[in-house]
Amino acid sequence: MDRKKGDHLLLGAHMSIEGGLYKAIERGTEIGCTAIQIFTTSNRQWGAKKLIEEEIIKFKESQEKHSMLVVTHCSYLINTASPTNAVRHRSKTALREEILRCNALSIPFAVLHPGSRLDGSESESLTWIAEALDEALEASDKTTMILLETMAGQGTTLGNTFEQLATIRSLTEYKKLVGICADTCHLFASGFDFTTHSGYEEMWKKFDKIIGINHLKAIHINDSKKECGEKVDRHEDIGEGKIGKDAFKYLMNDERFLNVPKILETPKLTLQDDIRNMQTLKNLISKN
């Protein structure tokens, strides 16, 4: 492989869909993103508007024209691990609909928070998550992967250990369509200290052993306002938080992740904030 680091960087940020789904791609293109993340619908409301044909066509055209890799983030309301039947069922429906929207829009990856077990048992909840993934993927055209996100471990959320994520994958029928999205802020908050090179290598070695490194399909690249192991999820600008620049330098230069989209979810008021964080990351790429 003669592809050099930084040559075909898949880097970008979460973009607003205000004014239409395709607008997110235009916004991303404007500030130099080669990959973006969007919500295909409101992330804090149940039920989605039906996509209209014109919107689908516009979105797909824009995606192709700008060769933009698009990832969606599923609604925060979805909790397929909930011990409450009604919530679980509503969540399953919402997940299935999200994957069908991704199919229609030719979006290859949908990032999902595994869920919270609340007062339920961990093993039962992990089984329910796998069941929901299978139902959604069964109904889909098999062109969209669901990416389970690594979580910070707040409260009873699941997915803050590699073991839990591996268990969910192992319980699904459609393993080929279930990957992982690693969030650097969440990994740090959950207790992985990858601020040193040895800590960085150790974390991925563990990931590879328990899940398999080839299942990592996207990275949420965020610094953390909180300390390692605090289990509190607060994103910070790259290099301005407790993770610091060294760790991002290891990540940006890691040949294993050259083709893995890296998406910012750092605090932002305007697109200038994304531009600044992307530049910080680009500056960390070694030139040789």
Q: Which residues are catalytic?
A: 44, 73, 76, 113, 149, 183, 186, 220, 233, 235, 265
Select from 228, 232, 218 the least CA-distant residue to 188: 228
Select from 49, 40, 45, 46 the least CA-distant residue to 14: 40
Nearer to Zn ion, 100 or 232 (CB): 232
- Rg over alpha carbons for the chain, rounded to the nearest Å, is 18
Number of residues lying near Zn ion (CB under 5 A): 2
- The stretch near Zn ion (CB under 5 A) out of 83-91, 226-234, 256-264, 280-288 is 226-234
Orientation angle between helical segments 122-139 and 85-105, nearest 10 degrees: 40
**Least CB distance to Zn ion at residue 19 (A):** 23
Is residue 52 helix, strand or coil?
coil
Select from 17, 12, 14, 16 the least CA-distant residue to 31: 12
Nearer to Zn ion, 62 or 233 (CB): 233
Nearer to Zn ion, 27 or 226 (CB): 226
Nearer to Zn ion, 28 or 115 (CB): 115
**Least CB distance to Zn ion at residue 59 (A):** 22
Rounded to 10 degrees, the C-alpha dihedral 216/217/222/223 comes to 20
**Least CB distance to Zn ion at residue 183 (A):** 6
- Dihedral of alpha carbons 158, 161, 166, 171, sign: negative
**Least CB distance to Zn ion at residue 186 (A):** 6
Task: Identify how many contiguous H helices and E strands the chain contains and give both numbers.
Answer: 9, 10
Binding of residue 233 to Zn ion (CB under 5 A): yes
Between CA 260 and CA 35 the distance in angstroms is 10
**Least CB distance to Zn ion at residue 115 (A):** 12
x/- map, 128-157, Zn ion, by CB under 5 A = ---------------------x--------
Nearer to Zn ion, 29 or 266 (CB): 266
Binding of residue 236 to Zn ion (CB under 5 A): no
Residues that bind Zn ion (CB under 5 A): 149, 233
